[in-house]
């Protein structure tokens, strides 16, 4: 009798092995984040030095005497070598000192703490609208490839990519605010409700809900829904297009054929198998859409008089307020890095192959 040796499957790593593997992954990610942050600091520092704007004149003014100019130059450390200036700059950034805004005469950190929640509120709702409508539209377009729903998805994507956001915002105000009176006008909240909500988180809707001021909550929502929908259309166009592409690729795989041969319903094949595997790249797509809305909402905030970071940076740039511009750039860059790291971690957790 000939005995056949059956190969033993490799043992799964225990809890200690998984912990070691995840610690290595986290270490690599943190190293990448540290290098990226260092590069961001270096770029913003060099931008401040090559801009044709004298930082001393921005502080003391054009008519300051020579002794005042020299004193301010020494206080800013501009007499030191470039590497020492960079080291001082890094030290100030990590202690939360982004300088003083020439435009508002306040610390840039305090200004950003005031305006950034408004942009965060706007971009978050815009991304939620984009995901809520874009993913189902992309799935339906992929399942019904070549049919009318697929053509609708393509038109939505074309409209979202082609129409200028400022024109879309103006038309939205004209139709839904001026003509139909369905939503509130420009601004973040009506003047009558400004003193009813005590700022806690900076997000007015959240603060109003926490304090039980529901009328102020709905007033803030009425101001928010139109600009968020304008940004949401851009997000719908991007997310639906990418979802359609991912789903078409998954529906052509062999495991989908096998699932259909087994007699599974089309709903389980599409949602339980194809969409489940498309979730991993979709996490990255949604994160990219969110980051794009965070840094690309300047025109929307300007049209709707939205007191967010984009409008703050635009006003600062027009007034040569470089401390505010560079501080806002650093904040946006840090948010980009954080969202990218979070999406990478979520993608690894959602992908069984990575686990």
Q: Which residues of 292-309 are buried (b: 16+ CB within 10 A; e: fewer)?
A: bbbbebbbbbbbbebbbb
Residue 41 lies in a domain: yes
Cα 31 to Cα 26: distance, rounded to the nearest angstrom = 8
Question: Which two three-digit tokens encode residue 343?
Answer: 């999406």
Same domain as 71, residue 42: yes
Closest CA to 136 of 240, 232, 265, 269: 240
Instruction: Identify the residue with better confidence: 85 or 183.
Output: 183
- Same domain? For 54 and 119 the reply is no
Burial class for 337, CB neighbours closer than 10 Å (0-12, 13-18, 19+): middle
Predicted pLDDT at 351: 67
Asked if pLDDT for residue 108 goes beyond 50, the answer is: yes
Q: What is the pLDDT of residues 256-271, one digit of tens each?
A: 888 888 887 888 888 8
Task: Report if residue 102 sits inside a domain.
Answer: no
What CATH number has the domain bearing residue 305? 1.10.3720.10
Domain end marker among 94, 123, 148: 94
pLDDT band at 31 (very low <50, low <70, confident <90, very high): confident
DSSP state letters, 29-56: HHHHHHHHHHHHHHHHHHHHHHSS--HH
- Asked if residue 99 belongs to a domain, the reply is no
Where does the pLDDT of residue 136 fall: very low under 50, low under 70, confident under 90, or very high at 90 and above? very high
Question: pTM score, two decimals?
Answer: 0.82
Q: How many CA atoms lie within 13 A of 354 on its CB side?
A: 12
Domain boundary among 37, 63, 94: 94
Measured between alpha carbons, how far is 102 from 321 in angstroms, rounded to an integer? Answer: 6
**Residue 1 located in a structural domain:** no
Domain housing 67 = 26-94
Same domain? For 130 and 185 the reply is yes
**Both 138 and 36 in a single domain?**
no
Q: Examine the domain organization and report whether 119 and 235 are in the same domain.
A: yes
Average pLDDT of the residues of the chain: 82
Question: Hey, how many other C-beta atoms are within 10 angstroms of the C-beta on 98?
Answer: 22
Residue 17 lies in a domain: no
Are residues 263 and 291 located together in one domain of the fold? Answer: yes
**SS3 state at 252:** coil
What is the rounded distance in angstroms from the CA atom of residue 278 to the CA atom of residue 95?
41
Please indicate, yes or no, whether residues 340 and 309 belong to a single structural domain of this protein: yes
What pLDDT, on the 0 to 100 scale, is given for residue 208? 87
- The mean pLDDT of 93-99, rounded to a whole number, is 83
Residue 186 sits in the same domain as residue 76: no
322 and 219 in a common domain: yes
The answer to whether residues 90 and 117 belong to one domain is no
Q: Does 12 fall in a domain?
A: no
Q: Assess whether 30 and 63 both reside in one domain.
A: yes
CA distances from 232 to 121, 132, 192 (A): 12, 10, 28
pLDDT higher than threshold 50 for residue 1: no
**Residues 216 and 160 occupy one common structural domain:** yes
Residue count of the chain: 355
State which of 70, 94, 118 marks the end of a domain. 94
How many folded domains does the chain comprise?
2
DSSP letters spanning 1-17: ----PPPPPPPPP-HHH
Kindly state the DSSP code that residue 11 receives in the 8-state scheme.
P
């Amino acid at each position: 009798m000939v005995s056949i040796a059956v190969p033993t499957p490799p043992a799964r790593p225990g809890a200690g092995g998984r912990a070691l593997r995840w610690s290595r992954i986290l270490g690599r990610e943190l190293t990448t984040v540290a290098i990226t942050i260092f590069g961001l600091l270096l770029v913003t520092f060099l931008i401040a030095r090559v801009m044709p704007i004298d930082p001393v004149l921005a502080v003391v003014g054009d008519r300051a005497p020579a002794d005042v100019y020299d004193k301010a130059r020494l206080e800013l450390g501009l007499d030191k070598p470039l590497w020492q200036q960079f080291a001082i700059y890094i030290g100030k950034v990590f202690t939360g000192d982004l300088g003083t805004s020439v435009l508002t005469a306040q610390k840039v950190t305090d200004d950003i703490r005031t305006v950034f929640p408004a942009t965060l509120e706007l971009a978050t709702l815009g991304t939620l609208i984009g995901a809520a409508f874009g993913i189902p539209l992309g799935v339906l377009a992929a399942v019904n490839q070549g049919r009318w729903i697929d053509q609708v998805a393509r038109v939505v994507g074309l409209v979202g990519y082609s129409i200028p956001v400022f024109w879309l915002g103006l038309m939205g105000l004209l139709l839904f605010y001026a003509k139909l009176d369905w939503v509130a006008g420009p601004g973040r909240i009506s003047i009558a409700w400004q003193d009813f909500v005590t700022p806690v988180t900076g997000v007015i809707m959240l603060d109003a809900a926490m304090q039980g001021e529901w009328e102020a909550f709905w007033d803030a929502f009425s101001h928010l829904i139109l600009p968020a929908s304008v940004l949401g259309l851009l997000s719908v166009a991007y997310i639906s297009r990418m979802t359609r592409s991912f789903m078409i690729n998954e529906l052509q795989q062999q495991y989908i054929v096998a699932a259909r041969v087994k007699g599974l319903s089309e709903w389980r094949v599409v949602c339980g198998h194809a969409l489940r595997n498309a979730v991993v790249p979709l996490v990255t797509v949604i994160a990219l859409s969110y980051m794009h809305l965070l840094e690309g909402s300047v025109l929307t905030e300007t049209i709707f008089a939205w007191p967010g970071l984009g409008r703050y940076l635009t006003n600062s740039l027009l007034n040569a307020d470089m401390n505010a511009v560079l501080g806002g750039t650093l904040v946006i860059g840090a948010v980009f890095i954080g969202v990218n790291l979070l999406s990478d971690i979520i993608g690894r957790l959602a992908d069984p192959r990575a686990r």
